[in-house]
Amino acid sequence: MKSRDTLIRLKRFQVEDRRRRLAQIEAMIAEFTRMSTDLDREIAAEEKRAGIADPTHFAYPTYARAAMTRRENVQRSRHELEGQLAEARAALDEARAELAKVESLDGRERMAEAARERDIDAMSAMQAARI
């Protein structure tokens, strides 16, 4: 029984750990999305200030060009995290399935144990009645 409880605690810990990891990835994706939006605004403001919106123009603002590069890097990182997010969701689903299986097995074992105890009690009562 003790090893069963330990196994269930371990599986619950794994589920919580994977849930935390999933939440971290989602938070990082949200942060990268926010950063990308901020960089879009900064690029637009710099283009408006300079009066040049064509990145191929020789006088295109250096800051806007650097912000575009940074935005592309942030978007690339966000896309990589989206792949990790799918993997993290699959790992969480797997951990939940394992936990459900262990809890189900534990429930069946507890029911069988209770049935054995009832049988033993019934046999003891029958023997006591014979005496």
**Mean pLDDT along residues 79-93:** 96
pLDDT tens sequence across 38-61:
999 999 999 999 999 999 999 999
Confidence (pTM): 0.73
Q: Distance between CA atoms of 51 and 63, rounded to whole angstroms? A: 14
Helices (H), 1-61: 2-50
The rounded percent of the chain whose pLDDT value lies above 90 is 69
Q: How confident is the model at residue 105 (pLDDT cuts 50, 70, 90)?
A: confident
Q: What confidence category does residue 104 fall into, taking pLDDT thresholds of 50, 70 and 90?
A: confident
| Residue 57, domain extent | 2-130
What CATH number is given to the structural domain containing 110? 1.10.287
Q: Which of 18, 3, 5 is nearest to 93 (CA)?
A: 18
- Considering its fold, how many domains does the chain have in total? 1
